[in-house]
A and B are shown apart, each in its own frame.
Chain A
Amino acid sequence: MSSHASDKFVYHEPGLQHQFEDMKQQEESVSIGMWMFLVQEIMFFGGLFTVYLVFRSKYPMAFAAGSNHLDAFWGGLNTLVLIVSSLTMALTVYYAQKGNRNMQVVLILLTMFFGAVFLGVKAIEYTSKYEDGLVPVAGLNKKVKENPNAEHGAAQAKPCYEMGHGAEHTYINPRGEFQWVDCSLVKVAEKGGFLTPEEKIGYYSNGDIDADKFRDKVRIFYWIYFVMTGLHALHMIVGIGLMTWLLWTAWKGTYSHDYFAPVEMSGLYWHFVDIVWIFLFPLLYLLGRHFLH
């Protein structure tokens, strides 16, 4: 379309772009291009991992406390779901190479299904964070009535500091602020004597634990949690969009032993997203679990 010169060409193979000599050159180019894209994706997430690293080294106890309030069951389940989807994706590529259209379609549908399950679980988790007042942005949390006799739930427990009892408290977080009441881990750490100097400045006022200061640090953990998982979920959504397109082309029987690069490239992307989660799961969900046992 760009050049009328291109229609003068005699294409020897379908799907060969005009700038290439043969399919081998095209496949090699596309594959290197995809890997370069993944390299830039790794650096993109790398910036966030650096932020994680810096703050975790500054405030390990706040990170451990925050992590303990993430549900490791859902996180672990999601890891397994993603691994299964990675397997189905790898098999899709395998069957695309074999030119088996039916297996491709089934496996792509399965991959999309597991991707959707992952996002569903993510939605459940985000909702529970909303209800517990753990979203770090003011106004995006459920307002929680003050109720000292509540059975469970972080926000409904009694705060670990004295609330200003002068005023009437209908809501613990009247503007939907971030809520944090659990200072138990810091107290354990203080007894064990392994708080860093940064933490001693960061959590304490006049030698006593200052719940407001501690809350700010935990909020940083939740900021990182939401940005990292949010960005990861965004990549999942893009991946599912890619799968939809792949489903359509596979349905038409586009891929065969000679031409399957789009399936393989989408597969690389999907596995990359999986790898990011493989790291996010232990780094976000499993910190300081051993303190609880």
Chain B
Amino acid sequence: MQNADAIITDSSGEPKVNYLTNGSTIKSWLLTKDHKRIAIMYLVSVSAFFLMGGLYAAAIRLELLTPASDLMESGTYNKAFTQHGVLMIFFFLIPAIPAILGNFLLPIMIGAKDLALPRINLLSLYFYWIGGGLTLYALLQGGVDTGWTFYTPYSTTFSNTFVMAVGLGIFINGFSSILTGLNFIVTVHTMRAPGMTWFRLPLFVWAQYATSLVMILGTPVIAITVLMLAIERAVHIGIFDPAIGGDPILFQHLFWFYSHPAVYIMILPGMGVISELVSNFSRKKIFGYEFIAFSSIAIAVFGFLVWGHHMFVSGQSIYAGLVFSFLTMVVAVPSAIKMFNWTATLYKGSILWNTPLLYAVGFLGLFLIGGLTGLFLGSIGLTVHLTDTYFVVAHFHYVMVGGQVIAYLGGLHYWWPKMTGKMYSEFWGKISAMLVFVGFNLTFFPQFILGYQGMPRRYASYPEELQVLNIFSTAGASVLGVGLMMPVVYLVHSLFFGKPAGDNPWMLPGLEWRTSSPPPTENFETMPVVTWEAYEFGEENGLDTEEARRREAVSTVS
């Protein structure tokens, strides 16, 4: 801290070098240790995987337009939904917010020059690429048809698709996620700027911290489980094969020990983004800071106690089912705390209806529905009726797409000016946010009804009386597709033609808005000293005089 003077500021008259202009060779990107460049590379790769997963989703919805399995035969359909799931979960939802927004913003938000272990960060990107490459190889070779859950003994004994290659891809990709989590934990513990106490951390950082805990504690278990699956598939000893004394439920226990907490890896960072958006766009200190912070940790911990609710009808004991059902109700409490606090924050705030807030408000509604239907599914009696129907499909899409994807889009818009220095088109942004919301509801709400009427998931055909709702769903999917493609166009457009955003386009007190846009390679020209609480919107309170002057100037112009 004493040698902050080691930073030599660029006092010459040339335009300041930022992280994007600091080196333009391919090598300067591929061997970079700069967390912001790594985040940008993640952004490009994750978007590519999202697009691929989206194409599979389009194929699935097209197939379900008609009751007969006419577009694809059942085997192809099995591969389509499996690959949709694998790509979306392991290569989009899990890395999306932590590896892109978290990587980019976490060090800036706590006033650090970089993540604590930059080389480990680069390594995690390479693991992601290798794992993704293996998975793509398997898809090009013919794909995999086990469902993303790889349930045994089908995946070990019967499926003759590329389970091994995809499994290996997931195994390697898992280490990418572990290393990211490890890095975040270390960074939050040791790299905070002077004055940045734990309770001055932005809630986004708290959420990333909780996510990282789950990544460290959960992901290794899926790694070893996939490894055992691969060994079983290779040599058939039968530890998952009931015919010779093995136990397929054991696989499910190990699988869900990770994969249930993994849904919190997917949603917790989204909740962090929403905390930022809700507070900053209602210009109000967040209501119940400590409650939101600790509810993130509580979700991370309780999330490990409920995995059995995925196995209510798969042969676990009734007693275990009861325990897991009860704990599932408990884990809803911290999520509810967050919902109440966000709503209370919005209440009487001076709300700016910009694109990020539109997404945030969309999140509140959709996550509410997703969360409450989760309680339906968590109650052991009702599950017997609803297991493996479209009700489940609709539920987790409400949480994953309505929660994580929408939060991710909101966060991407919110921080886009900081990441690129350019402002996107607010007009098209609002249109796209509303299209996504409408399209999403039209796609997935009918699926609740379909599921309740008994339409099972994972079939290419269905009874004719269910066609009307399926047509609604497919129509909604096309609206959703258009809404999701639009940001690609106008965000890329803004890179070249967007107007410069300025350092603090939203006029906010957070640390990331106190450096230039895009930030320099080491984030801050001088080591920041934090003297304000998080989300402090009082009159110039906590903002330095320079910042106050600039705020004044901008507000008189606009």
Contacts and interface: CB of A to CB of B under 8 A. Distances in A.
Interface string A53-69: 01100110000000000
A209 B218 CA distance: 41
B228 A47 contact: yes
Contact of A219 (B114, B120, B191, B237): B237
A21 B3 contact: yes
Majority-rule SS of B interface residues: helix
A22 B4 CA distance: 10
Interface string A1-36: 111111011101000011111100100111011001
Nearest to A138: B235
B247 A8 contact: no
Residue among B190, B218, B221 having the largest count of chain A Cβ atoms under 10 Å: B190
B173 to A, nearest CB: 15
Contacts of B246: 220
A216 interface: yes
B8 interface: yes
B225 A55 contact: no
A43 interface: yes
Nearest to B247: A54
B237 A50 contact: no
B31 A216 contact: no
B118 interface: yes
Nearest to B226: A47
Contact of A220 (B8, B120, B245): B245
Interface residues of A, number: 51
Contacts of A58: 245, 247
A216 B257 CA distance: 27
Interface residues of B, number: 61
Contact of A29 (B191, B257, B521): B191
Given A12-B3, A40-B220, A33 B239 contact: no
A4 B32 CA distance: 11
Interface in A157-174: none
Interface in B222-253: 223-225, 228, 231, 235, 237-239, 244-247, 250, 253
Given A2-B118, A21-B1, A40-B220, 11 more contacts: A2-B23, A2-B31, A2-B32, A3-B34, A9-B6, A22-B2, A29-B190, A44-B223, A47-B254, A220-B238, A220-B239
List 3 tightest A-B contacts by C-beta distance, closest first: A47-B224, A44-B220, A19-B114
Interface of A: 1-6, 8-10, 12, 17-22, 25, 28-30, 32-33, 36-37, 39-41, 43-48, 50-51, 54-55, 58-59, 136-138, 202, 213, 216-217, 219-220, 223-224, 227
25 contacts: A2-B31, A2-B32, A2-B118, A3-B32, A3-B522, A4-B22, A10-B6, A18-B114, A19-B116, A21-B527, A25-B190, A33-B186, A36-B181, A36-B186, A40-B217, A40-B219, A44-B221, A46-B220, A46-B221, A47-B221, A48-B224, A216-B238, A216-B245, A219-B238, A227-B228
